[in-house]
A = this chain, B = another copy of it.
Amino acid sequence: MATQTAERATTRNTIQRALVLEAVRSLHNHPTSADVYEVVREKHPNISRATVYRNLGVLANRGEVLRVEVPNGADRYDFLNRPHYHAKCRVCGGVFDVDMPYQSDILAKVSDAHGFAIEEHEIIFNGVCSECRKAEGR
């Protein structure tokens, strides 16, 4: 009887998982799974992409990394915990943090969500990053 609700059946600390977490922590520019894969491979050459994907998923579910879903592009991951917003460069595809206070009152501005239960929100700014502006010549 009452043997603890069998929550979270996933808790094994493999080398691969540790390396994936370490890689996300060390990469500060919103690495894609491919970026993480490359970094981990330096120390553990025969890790598979599948394992990287699976572990990024596990870590994201646990809240140890943040998954940033980017329209038309690979998912990005980062280690920042507080919610923040992103900007995506339409030239190079890069993703950058934007300094803007978290819009905690934004829900109040929704006049009608048609019965939709909003759990979180995301704001993405589209434009051109400073590097690409220089390169493009304005």
Instruction: Enumerate chain A interface residues (CB-CB to B < 8 A).
Output: 69-72, 75, 87, 89-90, 96-101, 103, 106, 109-130, 133
Please name all residues of chain B whose beta carbon is closer than 8 Å to the beta carbon of A119 when the two chains form the complex.
Answer: 90, 126-128
Q: Are B127 and A118 in contact (CB under 8 A)?
A: yes
Q: Are B117 and A126 in contact (CB under 8 A)?
A: no
Known contacts A70-B71, A75-B72, A122-B126; A116 and B87 CB within 8 A of each other: yes
Please name all residues of chain B whose beta carbon is closer than 8 Å to the beta carbon of A126 when the two chains form the complex.
Answer: 118-122
Number of copies: 2
Q: Are A99 and B111 in contact (CB under 8 A)?
A: yes
Please name all residues of chain B whose beta carbon is closer than 8 Å to the beta carbon of A116 when the two chains form the complex.
Answer: 87, 89, 96, 98, 125, 127-130
What are 19 A-B contacts with C-beta separation under 8 Å? A72-B75, A87-B118, A96-B114, A96-B116, A98-B114, A115-B130, A116-B127, A116-B128, A116-B129, A117-B128, A117-B129, A117-B130, A118-B127, A121-B123, A121-B124, A122-B123, A122-B126, A123-B123, A124-B124
What is the chain B residue whose CB lies nearest that of A69? B71
Q: Are B115 and A125 in contact (CB under 8 A)?
A: no
Given contacts A96-B114, A115-B133, A121-B123, list 13 more A-B pairs with CB under 8 A.
Answer: A87-B118, A96-B113, A96-B116, A98-B113, A99-B110, A99-B112, A103-B109, A113-B125, A116-B125, A117-B128, A117-B130, A119-B128, A121-B126
